[in-house]
Amino acid sequence: MPRFSDSTHTARPSDAPRVVDGKNRERTVDPAALEMLQVSKELGQITAFDRAVAQQPQCQFGYKGICCRICIQGPCRIKADDGPASRGICGASAYTIVARNLVRYIAGGTSSHSDHGRHIARTLLHMSEGHAPDYKIADPGKLYKVAQRIGIATEGKEELEVAKEVAVAALEDYGRYNDDACTFLNTTITKGREAKFRATNVAPTSIDRSVVQLLAQTTMGMDADPVNIIFGGLKAALADYTGMHIATDLTDVIFGTPKPTVSEANLGVIDPDKINIAVHGHNPLVSEMVVAAAHELEAEAQKTGAKGINIVGICCTGNELLMRKGVYLAANSASQELAIMTGALDAMIMDVQCMMPTVTTLCECFHTKVVTTNEIAKMPNALHYPFNEVTAMEDARAIVKIAIDNYANRDPEKVTASKNKSKVVAGFSLEALEEIFAAVNPDRPISVLTDAIKSGEIKGVCLFAGCNNLKGFQDQGHLEMIKEMAANDVFLVATGCSAGAFAKAGFMSPLAVDTYAGPGLKAFLSRLQDANKLSHGLPLVFHMGACVDNTRSADLATAMANEMGVDVPKVPFVASAPEAMHEKAVAIGAWCVTMGLPVHVGTMPPVEGSDLIYGVVTQIAHDVFGGHFILEMDPKLAAKKLLNALEYRTWKLGVHLNAAEKYGTSLAQGY
C-alpha cells in the first residue's frame, strides 16, 4: 500500500492558491472579526487584515527560501539553475540556503518556548527558596509525578524540597557540561524514540547548546551539507520539545493541572457593563496573578459604576487561563487588534510572544491602555510595568488598578458590543482525558482509545495546532478541516490558536458532536459520556491547551504507542497546522515529524527553492523517523491526505498484528 492510498495524492501540493483572495481585507470567517473589521473600516483604522493585503504580492525568493541574508555581503538570491547566479556570493547553493533558513526558524521557535519554560522553572526554584511567596504549589500530585518520572526520590522530603530539586533538574536541561541527553526529553518518550534519537545524533544534551550550536552551524562559511543542517535543526526541535515539556509540567505544578471546565469564546465575551481586562501573550505567570488581583479588587472596581471586572484572554495566555480557570477566550492571534475595536477594553496586559505592536497605534483612537510586563517584550507607546515574581501580587494589583482607573476614560459612543460568542467545554489535560477513559476501563484507560481504533469505530487521532496566517482567511483552514476529520470519525484534540478557532466557532461545545461527528465518533463519545455522566457533556474537539502544551498531545501519542506495544510511527495519530505562521510552529512541526507523526501544514513554508529539501521534509523524513510533512493548501484535500495517512497506519498495524498472531511472533516494528 502506498503512503497515500489515493494515487492522485503525491508529496506535492495541489494548485490551490497560496494567498486566498489577496485583495480582500475581510480575510476571516469569524463573524465577530467581520463585525469589528467593519468598525475599523469606518474609523479608518489599519489592522493586520489591511497589512496582509498591502504586502501582496510577496517576494518569491523569500517565499521559496532562496534569499540569504546571513552575512552582509548579501542579500543573495538564487536566480538561476546553473552559472554564477545559481549560488550566493560565498558559494552557498540553493539547498544550503533553504536548509539554513528553515532551521533558523527552529532556533527562533525553540528559543521562544524554552525561554518561557525557563521562566517557569526559575519561578518554581525561587518559590521553593521562599523568594516568590505569591506562587504556591497548586498540584502537589503532579509535582510528585514529575519528580518520580525524572528520577528524584521523594520519600521523607517536604513538598518545597522536591519542588526545588525538580526546578534544578529542569534548569540543568538548559545547560549541562556533559553529553547526557535532556531529562525532560528522555523520560517522556518511548524507548524506541530514545534509541532512534541516539542513533541519528539528534538528542540534545542541553537546550541552550542546541540553539547556539545551530546558529554556529548555519553561519556564513560553516555547514554546507543540507542534510546535516536539517539534522542540526531536528536536534534543536527536540530541545524545543524539552523546553515545552518543562513549561507544561511546571505550570501544572504551580497553577494546577487542567480539568474540564465550561466557558465561552469570541469577542462577545467582552462585557460593556464591566471593566474589561484582556491578558495577552503566553506565559501565565503574569496573567494568573492578574486574575487573582482582579478578584481582590472587585469591590473597588464597582465603585467606578462598572458591574465588576471581566478578564478575557487572547492567544495562548488566554488558552492557559481558559484551561485552568475557565476564563473567557476573546480572540486568537489574527483578531487580537479587533478586541480593541470593541471600544470596551480598558487594558490589554501583555506578557510574551505573538503580540502585534500595532495594538498601541489603535489605542490612539480608543482609550485602551496597553501594559507590557516583560523586559524582552516592550512596545513603543505602551506603558511598561516591569512585573517581578518576587512582588507578583503587588505588581498584579497595580496593573489591575491601571484598568480600573482607565474605565472613566471609556467613550460609550465608541463601544461596539459583539453578540458573537460560543459555549466551550475545555480543560483536557492528558490527566483529564485519562480520567474520562478510566470511567470505561480503570486499569488501562488509554486502551479505550486504542481499542476503538483497532475495532474501526474511530480512525485515529488528529491534533490540530498552530496559528492564524492571513495568507488565507482567518480560521477557515481550521474549520474546513475539522469538519472533514470529524465526519470521518477521527478523535480530535487541539491547542493554540487552532483551539481558539474551534472554541470561537462552537466546535468545543457538545452540540457540535451531533452536527459534525460521524457515526463512529458519535458512538465513541457517547460511550465516554455515558460512563462519566458529565453535566457539561463532552465536546467535539478536546482543548489540550496552549501552543506550549503540544507536549500534552505528544504524551498522548506516546501513551498510545506504549499501550499498543509499538513505537509512535505505527500509531494512527496525525497532526495538522492548517494556518501555521510562527517560528514556534516550525519547531513544533519538526519535532512532531521526528517523533514519528505525519504533519500537515496548510501554509507553504519556504522550502520550494530546493527540491532536495522539499524531498527530505516530505519523504525522506518518513524513512528515517516515520513522520513527514504533508504540505497542502487546500483544506479538504489536506484532510483527505491525513485520513489516508491514518488509514495507512491502521492497515499496516492490522497486517502486522495478524501476522504476529498467526505465526506466534513478536509484532513487526517496521513503518
Can you give the binding site for ligand SF4, defined by CB under 6 A?
68-71, 73-76, 88-90, 92, 97, 220
Laid out side by side, the sheet with 328-331 consists of 383-384, 369-372, 345-350, 275-281, 309-314, 328-331, 261-265, 422-426
Angstrom distance (rounded) from CA 63 to CA 68? 12
* Shortest reach from residue 498's CB to ligand BF8, in Å: 7
Least CB distance from residue 59 to ligand SF4, whole Å?
15
Question: C-alpha cell of 468?
Answer: 492564524
- The CB-of-305 to ligand SF4 minimum distance in angstroms stands at 59
Residue 353 falls in which region: left (phi positive, over 0), alpha (psi -120 to 50) or beta: left
Contacted entry of ligand BF8, ligand SF4, none for residue 355, CB cut-off 5 to 8 Å set by kind: none
Cβ distance to ligand BF8 smaller for residue 334 or 566 = 334
496 binds ligand BF8 (CB under 6 A): yes
Instruction: DSSP letter for 414, please.
Output: G
Nearest CA to 544 out of 478, 482, 507, 495 is that of 495
Considering CB distances under 5 to 8 angstroms, the limit depending on partner class, which of ligand SF4, ligand BF8, none binds residue 581? Answer: ligand BF8
Q: How far is CA 278 from the centre of its chain?
A: 20
CA 577, CA 580: separation in Å to the nearest integer?
5
- Is there binding between residue 330 and ligand BF8 (CB under 6 A)? no
| Minimum CB distance to ligand BF8, residue 339 (Å) | 14
Compare residues 52 and 70 and give the one whose CB is closer to ligand SF4.
70
Beta bridge partners of 573: 461
CB-neighbour burial class of residue 303 (10 A; exposed 0-12, middle 13-18, buried 19+): exposed
Q: Is the separation of the CB atoms in 669 and 570 below 8 Å?
A: yes
**Of ligand SF4, ligand BF8, none, which one does residue 496 interact with (CB within 5 to 8 Å by kind)?**
ligand BF8
Question: What's the closest the beta carbon of residue 85 comes to ligand SF4, in angstroms?
Answer: 12
End-to-end CA distance of the chain: 12
404 binds ligand BF8 (CB under 6 A): no
Considering the complex, state which of residue 92 and residue 424 has its C-beta at the smaller distance from ligand SF4: 92
Judged by DSSP in three states, 76 sits in strand
Of the listed pieces 126-134, 190-198, 563-571, 582-590, which binds ligand BF8 according to CB under 6 A?
Answer: 582-590
Bridge pairing between strands 67-68 and 309-314: unpaired
Q: Is 497 in the site for ligand BF8 (CB under 6 A)?
A: yes
Nearest distance, CB of residue 83 and ligand SF4, angstroms: 15
Residue 539, CA atoms < 13 Å, CB-side half-sphere: 29
Distance of closest approach, residue 495 Cβ to ligand BF8, in angstroms? 8
* Contact flag: residue 29 with ligand BF8 (CB under 6 A): no
Instruction: Kindly state the DSSP code that residue 272 receives in the 8-state scheme.
Output: T
Q: Answer yes or no: are the C-beta atoms of 89 and 73 closer than 8 Å.
A: yes
- Minimum CB separation from ligand BF8 for residue 562, in Å? 27
For ligand SF4, the closer CB: 25 or 100: 100
What beta strand segments (E) does 411-486 contain? 422-426, 460-464
Q: What is the DSSP letter of 93?
A: B
Query: Which of 282/656 has CB closer to ligand BF8?
Result: 282
Cβ closer to ligand SF4: 88 or 258?
A: 88
Q: Pick what 637 binds: ligand SF4, ligand BF8, none; C-beta below 5 to 8 Å, kind-dependent.
A: none
| Residue 526, Cβ density class (10 Å: 0-12 exposed, 13-18 middle, ≥19 buried) | middle
Which is closer to ligand SF4, CB of 97 or CB of 616?
Answer: 97
Q: Pick one of ligand SF4, ligand BF8, none as the site partner of residue 88 (Cβ within 5 to 8 A by kind).
A: ligand SF4
C-alpha to C-alpha distance for 386 and 196, rounded to whole angstroms = 44
The least distance separating ligand BF8 from the CB of residue 577, rounded to whole angstroms, comes to 8
Count of residues that bind ligand BF8 according to CB under 6 A: 15
CB atoms within 10 A of CB 381: 11
CA-CA distances (angstroms) from residue 218 to 66, 77, 178, 188, 215? 14, 17, 23, 29, 5
**Of 65, 427, 466, 627, the one binding ligand BF8 by CB under 6 A:** 466
Answer whether 371's CB lies under 8 Å from 350's CB. yes
Q: Which residue has the cell 527553492?
A: 609
Residue 70 binding partner per list ligand BF8, ligand SF4, none, with a CB distance cut-off of 5 to 8 Å that depends on partner kind: ligand SF4
Q: Examine residue 467 and tell whether it contacts ligand BF8 (CB under 6 A).
A: yes
Least separation in angstroms between residue 620's CB and ligand SF4 is 24
Q: Which does 301 bind (CB under 5 to 8 A by kind): ligand SF4, ligand BF8, none?
A: none
Binding status of residue 333 toward ligand BF8 by CB under 6 A: yes
Nearer to ligand SF4, 60 or 669 (CB): 60
Cα separation, 161 vs 64, in Å, equals: 51
Which of ligand SF4, ligand BF8, none interacts with 369 (beta carbon under 5 to 8 A by kind)? none
Q: Which does 582 bind (CB under 5 to 8 A by kind): ligand SF4, ligand BF8, none?
A: ligand BF8
How far is C-alpha 365 from the geometric centre of its chain's CA atoms?
32
Chosen from ligand BF8, ligand SF4, none, partner binding at 122 (C-beta under 5 to 8 Å by type): none
Nearer to ligand SF4, 221 or 456 (CB): 221
- Which of ligand SF4, ligand BF8, none interacts with 89 (beta carbon under 5 to 8 A by kind)? ligand SF4
Task: Give the C-alpha separation, 360 to 367, whole Å.
Answer: 10
CB-based contacts of 380, cutoff 8 Å, min separation 6: 357, 360
For the bound state, the minimum distance from the C-beta of residue 202 to ligand SF4, rounded and expressed in Å, comes to: 25
Contact string 435-454 vs ligand BF8 (x = CB under 6 A): --------------------
Name the binder of 467 from ligand SF4, ligand BF8, none, CB < 5-8 A by kind. Answer: ligand BF8
Residues 526 to 565: which contact ligand BF8 by CB under 6 A? 546-547
Tell me the closest approach of the beta carbon of residue 76 to ligand SF4, in angstroms: 3
Q: Which does 445 bind (CB under 5 to 8 A by kind): ligand BF8, ligand SF4, none?
A: none
- What is the residue whose three cell numbers read 490558536? 497
**Quick check: 315 and 336 in contact, CB under 8 A?**
yes
CB of 583 to ligand BF8, least distance (A): 8
Residues linked to residue 371 through DSSP beta bridges, in sequence order? 349, 383
d(CA 18, CA 484): 21
Cβ proximity to ligand SF4: between 104 and 483 the closer is 104
| Residue 283 CB, nearest approach to ligand BF8 (Å) | 11
Q: What is the DSSP letter of 466?
A: -
Query: How deeply is 94 buried, as exposed, middle or buried, from its count of CB atoms within 10 A (0-12, 13-18, 19+)?
Result: buried
Element of type H or E holding 574: strand 573-577
- Minimum Å distance from CB 475 to ligand SF4? 37
Instruction: Report the b/e string of 563-586 with b at 16+ CB within 10 A.
Output: bbebbbbbbbbbbbbbbbbbbbbb
- 70 vs 371 by CB, closer to ligand SF4: 70
Q: In angstroms, give the least distance from the CB of 135 to ligand BF8.
A: 22
- Look at strands 345-350 and 275-281 and give their pairing: parallel
Task: Note the residues at the interface with ligand BF8 (CB under 6 A).
Answer: 282, 315-316, 333, 354, 466-467, 496-497, 546-547, 581-582, 584-585
